[in-house]
Amino acid sequence: MTDIAYRPLGQTGIQVSAICLGTMTWGSQNSEAEAHAQIDYALDRGINFLDTAEVYPTTPGTPENRGSTESYIGNWIAGSGKRAQVVLATKVAGPSFMGPVRGGDNHLDRRNIELAVEDSLRRLRTDYIDLYQIHWPDRGVPKFGGRGLAALADPAGTVAIEETYAVMGDLVKAGKIRSFGVSNETPWGVAEYLRLARETGGPRVASIQNAYNLLNRVFEIGLSEFALRADVGLLAYSPLAAGYLSGKYQGGMVPPGARAAVAANFPRYRTARQAEVVARYIGIAHAYGLSPEALALAYVYSRKFVTSSIIGATSLAQLTADIDGSLVQLPEGALQAIEEVYSLNPDPCP
């Protein structure tokens, strides 16, 4: 097993660990003490990258606990004095987010972004954010399960990318953020942000946080070339496909406390072909003496276009297993077997 690698975050000059600690369960499935223990353990293992969002937790999320994840991190920062040891990423919610934010008018305009960043800075108890991400575009884009646009479907009041980009540039100039990234974005959107950077001389988009796992490799269609050619790497969320690639949901089982039990409003991985394809990947893992989790996590970690793989856990034991699994060197035979399964069953859970 190798040590955790460090990779450049786009062209920002920031180096991040190739494993990122996800925080989406903190404030719902995890207490503040558990969150702090996870950060301490991650740092001890060499992880310097934390990812959160203004709307976390979301498993489940309510208006009452929204923002508590950032507050937990902020209290850790204030208590530990280790702000300089972590690269801190958070997100501003666009209108595609599931539920109203800031009164329901959470467009990605100047007013909303400036309000959001000040609230995040206050909760995080810091005077700067290393990576500020756009959590869903403002315009109409394919949601979970969508593969593309058959027609334009921009909602009323859609904010142009030009305005969103200008605000991000101003926040960089003001020192409130060091860089910005996108999330749940399309090739067209990434191209637009890169175009604006070329034309204005402003900051380049640094990263793309999209889903990527053995059940959803849609990122490879279009976006991976941007990652490789334009230094806009993937921050891969759901490398275990919300736990489905562990096999714990096979046969319709839903263990108490599992994400599928507490967040039934996330249907992305409950598709007709999912169980059959997961069974095939489990078979590959067992054939090579690996856990299903290690097969899935190591595959994502090893992709050349991935800057960092975002893992989340509800216990230290799970976090340990996820880190160890990510660092496994997959045998060539296992990689070939994965591609054989994928060629017959591409993206059952886009």
Q: What is the pLDDT of residues 271-290, one digit of tens each?
A: 889 999 999 999 999 999 99
Q: What is the DSSP string of 88-99?
A: EEEEEE-TTSSS
The pLDDT of residue 1 is: 63
Q: Phi, psi at residue 111, to the nearest 5°?
A: -60, -50
Q: Structure tokens of 220?
A: 């490879």
Tokens 């999330």 locate to 183
- Count of Cβ atoms closer than 10 Å to residue 147 Cβ: 10
pTM of the model: 0.95
3-state secondary structure of 119: helix
The pLDDT of residue 193 is: 98
Q: Burial letters for 181-212: b for 16+ Cβ neighbours within 10 Å, e otherwise?
A: bbbbbbeebbebbbebbeeeebbbbbbbbbbb
More confidently predicted of 27 and 99: 27
Lowest-confidence region among 77-86, 90-99, 178-187: 90-99
The pLDDT of residue 144 is: 80
| 152-165 tens-digit pLDDT | 989 888 999 999 99
Q: For residues 28 and 59, give the distance between their C-alpha atoms in angstroms, rounded to a whole number.
A: 6
| 121-155 tens-digit pLDDT | 999 999 999 999 999 999 999 888 778 888 998 98
Listed by start position, the domains of the chain span 6-344
Asked whether the predicted pLDDT for residue 264 surpasses 80, the reply is: no
Indicate if 56 belongs to the active site.
Answer: yes
The pLDDT of residue 325 is: 98
Instruction: Write down the CATH superfamily of domain 6-344.
Output: NADP-dependent oxidoreductase domain (3.20.20.100)
Residue 67 DSSP label = T
- Count of Cβ atoms closer than 10 Å to residue 253 Cβ: 10
Q: For residues 197 and 204, give the distance between their C-alpha atoms in angstroms, rounded to a whole number.
A: 5
Q: Structure tokens of 27?
A: 């404030």
41, 56, 128, 237: the active-site residue? 56
The pLDDT of residue 270 is: 85
Count CA atoms within 13 Å of residue 130 on its CB side.
20
Averaged over 194-208, what is the pLDDT?
A: 98
The pLDDT of residue 337 is: 98
Question: Angle at CA 120, nearest 5°, toward 164 and 237?
Answer: 75
Question: Angle at CA 55, nearest 5°, toward 53 and 58?
Answer: 105
| 202-250 tens-digit pLDDT | 999 999 999 999 999 999 999 999 999 999 999 999 999 999 999 888 8
Asked whether the predicted pLDDT for residue 326 surpasses 60, the reply is: yes
